[in-house]
Structure 1
């Protein structure tokens, strides 16, 4: 966007193309200041886990701040269907000036690798579970680990369970990593966000930013139909002329679309916007949604229309079970067979079978039962909400606060001795906060674009007024000139009449000096 931004039509200004003003920022965010702030929960009393009388004490550490840069690579525009395909590279650089701590800070955390292994094989043969129990007793025998921030995030750390799992080759869905770290191998990689195909809006602005294909498909393998559909915005563009209806964003990290509900009208940097927030529709287990029949055309050919509408009767309200078969309990659709309390998103299927659950930070908007076993959690709406503010006329995001927390389900095992009799809890690991807002240099351009209709209207009114004044002036001038001509003509006629009268009078009435009338006045020249 630049000073010529206002001169373009809305379609050219808002759609995505190599010539559009938004293309360079979309392609590479290096000119934008975007920080990812990570907060870890330090577990200070792991020895008290088995004591039901004592709570788990967590201390929040951080933020550990990173400058995030996003680059689109292998960009290919498809004019035939008005879409663009790309891979995305995300790179993080530690920002010491904005961090409260260093990457060498040591943190006590739940042993996520061991917990995940026990969870994943909980239905496997008894002998395999016994083998895992033996390995844990030999090499770990602790339900917690102590690692640095760097190890937990990017560098990763070795673990015997990972090594043995890769050597056995028994699980085809095992992570392709030789170490464990939440962002291990992701820094600078283009593989993790997948291949995206997004609508550019060139043909129809109502489609701009919609994710059409992810990894070359319009469905995912992680959920059953119809909840396996690829839908929603890719997160960078939204259609213009927003209403207060819910918006949907497809998040590749959790392999599913997420719904955001309208909250309020707000103002950011002098621009009015609609605020949408993650709420009950996404975090609950009872969010019902109507899927129209025509939506079946977006599914894979192997998914028939009949299969699409095969719905578990238990997911429908009694009054709509027979009357409205298109209504699906979407909350249960994403449960992965086992629904969790309000406030959690089950991402187990998307994360190699590990018991991962995403929530808002500090279990904000979650069931209070999630916080019962912990101290150190204090949810606040202003600090722990996931909000998106869109300018409604253009659909441009003017302020985004993306906040999510990663939790691991800890539960007892009858076979793996390390986890016998442990409480069943969703254990907070860390949460992140990424804030992105419209750059100051673009605020003026956006305000000008929004004011164009008003400016045009007032300009038209002024031009109409000036035109009316000119027309009135022309009429007045014409009237005055015409009046003047009439008066002059009348004056000329009067003068002529007077002259004729005087001539007649002189001809007929003129007398001699002696008072007698003269009758010898020549009327014609003498020959």
Structure 2
């Protein structure tokens, strides 16, 4: 019995220990897991994530270009005629990036870098060649007319004379010329001679949408980004762009450099919106949470470009202490490092507290004249070219945009811009960056080339950049997520085993005590029964003896 009791005691100690360890791990596992993630995801020199980020051969993306071939430019000025557009492509390229001039700043836990991009034509995935001819709007002429729109009549008349002599409203160029090779234009050459190197003059000797970009670091700008060394929640946040925490293209507060740089997001994602600072758009862009999706067998949060970016009425609220800077230029560096909250105008979720001012962010992105829903005005950061960015085929845009031309057929599957993030780690699972370039064509009373033309946001081309997690990275990510599940379920199982052991031991001890009690009761009953039997026996024996004496027969002695 003593040996059995000793075993129960040791088993109880083991069960109690398992219950304590399992419960403790379960309670603190998320903090433990987040600590492990912080060590793995923090951007450090020569770490695995650093080698992937700076541009190894492990990741390559695919970028498809589509052009809108304008088939009836000669009918532009005819009443009731619309531009007929035929989409051609894709012209597919392997797209790679690498980070150069990397400098870590441990004093404020940031890293500075330049980005170099490469495009390699992939004929096997292309529907056409780079020598295909495209009927294309004369963007150089439109830009020149837009730049002098509010100049003196002398300059406008001079430009009108030059355009009539040297240009037409459309050009016919190859895909290669329109993308990377570029083409000569007399207006560019004469503009450089006449204007010199004045501010906001493009530094190009040719025109092409990606002219001089292949292999160059001059177009993305220098970024300063948080490494997450001090706090993993800061990883990937843009701190400065071109050595400043605000831009000169928009008014306060729209000129803040904020949001992610587009490659890192903090782990522990929720359903809140995410934002990216885009060097091409010279501003931050918001992506709205739309639900869960599966990619590489991993569940992720999906965020899409929607009304908060494509509409002109995105509201935010700022404290009075912050808005006092909006009326004047400030050199306060810390102000623009604040993570601004975005108000959902659809739900009218606006804080009406007297301590806040509500700011209509869309107004300062309009550059004086707000465009229809679905357009992002980038004229200010494109040397005065009347450029407007949208989703392909004006997806999610005002129907009036599509009604101005023939040939557009938007759909959500092919034309949405979305980012899918694994919520526990913040790692991008799937990215579909799809944007369309549009040029505002509008009439001019002084430039003959553009007299009597309709006001149209004319689609030019769009691209589809696909990227995300590779199969190898997805396998590593699944291992990390399994580690999280093992920690949660393992600690639960361990605590359950410990608790079950204690319950079993308790039940066995109870049953054992019941058994002992029953045995003692039976013994006591037996003892009491023996005593009763002996008493009865003695009584019976005594009675028999008495009877024998009474029944004895006396005989006479003869």
- TM superposition score category, shorter chain reference: 0.7 to 0.9
Bigger drift between 271-280 and 451-460 goes to 451-460
Distance 1:7 1:249 in 2: 23
Q: Conserved in 2, the CA contact under 8 Å of 1:68 and 1:92?
A: yes
Report the 3-state secondary structure (helix = DSSP H, G, I; strand = E; otherwise coil) of the residue aligned with 1:371. Answer: helix
Whether 1:395 and 2:440 are equivalent positions in the alignment is no
Give the structure 1 partner of residue 279 of structure 2.
Answer: 252
Distance 1:218 1:7 in 2: 29
The equivalences for 1:501-516 within 5 A come to: none
Report the 3-state secondary structure (helix = DSSP H, G, I; strand = E; otherwise coil) of the residue aligned with 1:235. Answer: coil
Whether 1:422 and 2:448 are equivalent positions in the alignment is no
Compare the two structures and name the one with the higher helix fraction. Answer: 2
Cα distance, 1:368–1:476 mapped onto 2, change above 3 Å: closer
Report the 3-state secondary structure (helix = DSSP H, G, I; strand = E; otherwise coil) of the residue aligned with 1:254. Answer: coil
Whether 1:266 and 2:297 are equivalent positions in the alignment is no
Give the structure 2 partner of residue 281 of structure 1.
Answer: 308
Give the structure 2 partner of residue 360 of structure 1.
Answer: 391
1:191 to 209, 218, 222: 218
Distance 1:469 1:412 in 2: 82
Report the 3-state secondary structure (helix = DSSP H, G, I; strand = E; otherwise coil) of the residue aligned with 1:56. Answer: coil
Give the structure 1 partner of residue 480 of structure 2.
Answer: 449
Please give the TM-score of this superposition, normalised by the length of structure 1. 0.83
In structure 2, runs of 5+ residues without a counterpart are 1-32, 337-344, 516-558
Aligned residues: 467
Q: CA RMSD in A?
A: 3.0
Whether 1:343 and 2:374 are equivalent positions in the alignment is yes
1:134 to 156, 161, 166: 161
1:33 to 50, 60, 73: 60
Give the structure 2 partner of residue 90 of structure 1.
Answer: 117
Bigger drift between 85-94 and 468-477 goes to 468-477
Distance 2:233 2:327 in 1: 24
Whether 1:376 and 2:402 are equivalent positions in the alignment is no
Give the structure 2 partner of residue 161 of structure 1.
Answer: 187
Whether 1:143 and 2:174 are equivalent positions in the alignment is no
Post-superposition shift, 1:33?
A: 2.9
Distance 2:426 2:404 in 1: 42
1:24 to 33, 39, 51: 51
Report the 3-state secondary structure (helix = DSSP H, G, I; strand = E; otherwise coil) of the residue aligned with 2:294. Answer: strand
Distance 1:402 1:82 in 2: 29
Distance 1:297 1:209 in 2: 29
Q: Conserved in 2, the CA contact under 8 Å of 1:30 and 1:70?
A: no
Post-superposition shift, 1:473?
A: 8.6
Whether 1:44 and 2:71 are equivalent positions in the alignment is yes
Report the 3-state secondary structure (helix = DSSP H, G, I; strand = E; otherwise coil) of the residue aligned with 1:455. Answer: helix
Distance 2:352 2:444 in 1: 38
Post-superposition shift, 1:325?
A: 5.4
Distance 2:130 2:150 in 1: 38
Give the structure 2 partner of residue 10 of structure 1.
Answer: 37
In structure 1, runs of 5+ residues without a counterpart are 1-5, 310-315, 484-527
Post-superposition shift, 1:195?
A: 0.5
Please give the TM-score of this superposition, normalised by the length of structure 2. 0.78
Q: Conserved in 2, the CA contact under 8 Å of 1:133 and 1:415?
A: yes
Cα distance, 1:176–1:7 mapped onto 2, change above 3 Å: closer
Q: Conserved in 1, the CA contact under 8 Å of 2:274 and 2:288?
A: yes
Post-superposition shift, 1:79?
A: 1.3
Distance 1:229 1:298 in 2: 12
Q: Conserved in 2, the CA contact under 8 Å of 1:29 and 1:69?
A: no
Q: Conserved in 1, the CA contact under 8 Å of 2:318 and 2:356?
A: no
